[in-house]
Chains A and B, each alone.
Chain A
Amino acid sequence: MSGILNSSIGRKFAMALSAFFLMIFLLQHFAINVTSVFSANTFNETSHFMGTNALVQYVFQPILLFSVVFHFVMGFVLEIKNRKARQIPYAKNNGAANSSWMSRNMIWTGLAILAFMGLHFYDFWFPEINTKYIQGDMSGLLADGSGYRYFEELQHKFLSPVRVGIYVVAFVFLALHLLHGFNSAFQSVGANNKYTKGLKGFGKAYAILIPLGFVIIALYHHFNHIS
């Protein structure tokens, strides 16, 4: 096992593992967001559970943070190494003849997601950490104590059309990233043979439907609150 990250295949494998974790997390995040459309109450309670459960906060959250950081740092490392592997570019290179746009631009769609995550952390994660671990308020209640604060905070954030616009664009980039990434991750861990033919269609569905779902939820709250 020693030095597996020093080999090209080891790096590929580690990249795929972090990506798998992110894709599972995305599904879980989506499942919770969906509840906000149907019941403010369920959304509040699930959010409070996730925000105060020790296993989630002290085990899964650090793993998630590590995966995100590992994933984009390794993404940069791969990109730099791969540029070094061809120092003189072609005068004419017809990449579209043999590969998808998504597969050739993972670093750019990834960077767009990273920029979005900066905004997303600023919107939700930093205030959350501040309230809970710096102010020490673990109650999850509104300032006037009239109920849980999570749903209100969400509605408040999605008032701004600019923010909602940025969210929508970011999820288009996520969909593009996943349209290549989902199946790429399976290939990286060696799962490409006669048993995995059905995965391709499933990957496409995941890559389009999950980001689309997030977009619909954001738009729903935006227009629902305005009207």
Chain B
Amino acid sequence: MNLTLKIWRQKNKDDKGKLVDYKINEVSPDMSFLEMLDVLNEQLINKGEDPVAFDHDCREGICGMCSLFINGQAHGPDRGITTCQLHMRMFKDEDTIFIEPFRATAFPVIKDLVVDRTSFDRIQHAGGFISVNTSGNTIDANAIPVNKHDADEAFEAATCIGCGACVASCKNSSAMLFVGAKVSQFALLPQGKVEATDRVLNMVKQMDEEGFGNCTNTGACEIECPKGISLENIARMNREYLSASLKG
């Protein structure tokens, strides 16, 4: 396949940045999207140009590191996958492909397609954990009985890989799906209930301080989430938040 790529190039966080056109030929339909970018970068390096910076790590859909807004969609046109799992067979010969960074005020661009997603880390630090005594007499988590339905829902929420596609897809740049998943994962389990009130209040406060937008329930996040995290997690977070605000 021969393709035209329109890639966002930005030297550093203060640079204005712009879309730059690149031609790439003889792309195999079996390549992953990131492999295609690797090939482009090799060509750029051979020409003595600066390669395109982009994030990636596991390249098997589990770490959440790869990002990219491809042809108007987070992680490109396929469903239930990350960019590293996207294949070039999803595109046609002679296509023009827009490749942009995830855009949100709370995800500033560091270079080219790499954005700073540490705002998610700070939300996690605000409450996305349980406090456990690790001095040696820790009780095995499996010793506490958990209702199967709750266990399944908590497990599903816990599959969130923190990639940020929900924020990138949302017209409001809202992080509610991510935070909803992190809140739900603990709120459903007995170990998480102990700190539930503070957790939801603190995580939402941090989310707001980071400058994410307000959810208006468009549902774009749920559709674009590589792990299929459900909007029900946002509803659960709203319930948790409202009852926590009433308590204190």
Contacts and interface: CB of A to CB of B under 8 A. Distances in A.
Interface string B213-238: 11111111001100000011011111
B98 A85 contact: no
A85 B218 contact: no
- Of A91, A100, A106, the most chain B CB neighbours within 10 A belong to A91
B105 A84 contact: yes
Interface string B90-120: 0000000010100111100000000000000
B185 interface: no
Nearest to B237: A9
B241 interface: yes
Interface residues of A, number: 42
Contact of B235 (A78, A84, A90, A193): A193
B150 interface: no
Interface residues of B, number: 48
Interface stretch (A26-34, A121-129, A182-190): A182-190
A146 interface: no
Contact of B213 (A85, A89, A91, A193): A85
A106 to B, nearest CB: 6
Contacts of B214: 8, 11-12, 78, 81-82
19 contacts: A8-B208, A10-B245, A12-B214, A13-B238, A78-B214, A82-B172, A84-B105, A85-B211, A86-B103, A86-B105, A90-B103, A91-B19, A92-B71, A98-B224, A99-B223, A100-B218, A103-B219, A104-B218, A192-B234
Given A86-B213, A99-B171, A187-B235, 12 more contacts: A7-B208, A81-B214, A84-B105, A85-B104, A85-B106, A88-B103, A95-B171, A98-B218, A100-B219, A180-B217, A192-B234, A193-B236
